[in-house]
Amino acid sequence: MTIVRAHDYNDMSRKVANIISAQIILKPNCVLGLATGSTPIGAYQQLVEWYKKGDLDFSQVSSYNLDEYRGLAGDHPQSYRYFMDTNLFDHVNIDKSKTFVPDGMAEDYEAACAAYDAAVAAAGYPDLQLLGIGNNGHIGFNEPDDHFSRGTHLVDLTESTIEANSRLFDSIDEVPRQAFSMGVQTIMNAKMILVAANGEKKAQAVHDMCFGPITPSCPASILQLHTNTVLVADEEALSKCGELA
């Protein structure tokens, strides 16, 4: 695992955006695995800025998102489809028909999950998979468990994840209790994994991801086994990584 130290959130965002932009420039028809949440917003804003300056072209890019809340339609303001549209897709020249997010309204969720996995596999898996990391070490919505997940699946969200995400809703009672998430095995099939982390609240999870035992109780720890994982983290997120001193 390559660890890139950033000074703060803005520096982390620029460094993450630099790596994503390099992927697009080197392979204009690349497949991107994308993430949501507060962590990547700054990187997406930077990518939009570079696109508007004429430095980036998204016209041949396709994308697959990690996850989506169950029960939220794509036009719901807290859905991850809405997040991607408003934070990135609406502001660049990407073909939205080539941007994919799990269907939060799928009635036959097992069939929908299998179809999503098949689509990701048919695309050849992401050239670059962007990830955040949860306070409890989750990646996507793959929560701590007694095993590593495989394909896209329905997840019961932990109370810590529900609480962390409640800042985005008017009330914690409005936060969905379930979500669809790309599985750990699918994530590991990406050619490159780019993890972004910032803030002191992520420090323990970042330490365990990089230096702890590989265990499904910290899903991100499996990234130690990937041959091309890059972590970009700010000083606070790296504060418990004394191994880097």
Is 143 tagged catalytic? yes
- What backbone torsions phi and psi does residue 121 show, to the nearest 5 degrees? -65, -40
Which residues fall within 8 angstroms of residue 181, CB to CB, at 6 or more apart? Answer: 66, 67, 102, 140, 141, 142, 149, 152, 153, 155
Amino acid present at 42: G
Catalytic member of 103, 117, 127, 136: 136
Catalytic member of 68, 103, 127, 143: 143
Q: How buried is residue 130: exposed, middle or buried, by Cβ count under 10 Å (0-12/13-18/19+)?
A: buried
Catalytic member of 138, 189, 198, 236: 138
Nearest to 135 by CA among 199, 80, 87: 199
Which residues fall within 8 angstroms of residue 34, CB to CB, at 6 or more apart? Answer: 40, 63, 64, 65, 66, 84, 88, 130
Catalytic member of 65, 67, 127, 198: 67
Pair 24, 128: CB distance under 8 Å: no
Query: CA-CA distances (angstroms) from residue 68 to 74, 80, 229?
Result: 9, 6, 24
Is 67 tagged catalytic? yes
Dihedral sign for Cα atoms in the order 44, 165, 193, 113: negative
Active-site annotation, residues: 67, 136, 138, 143
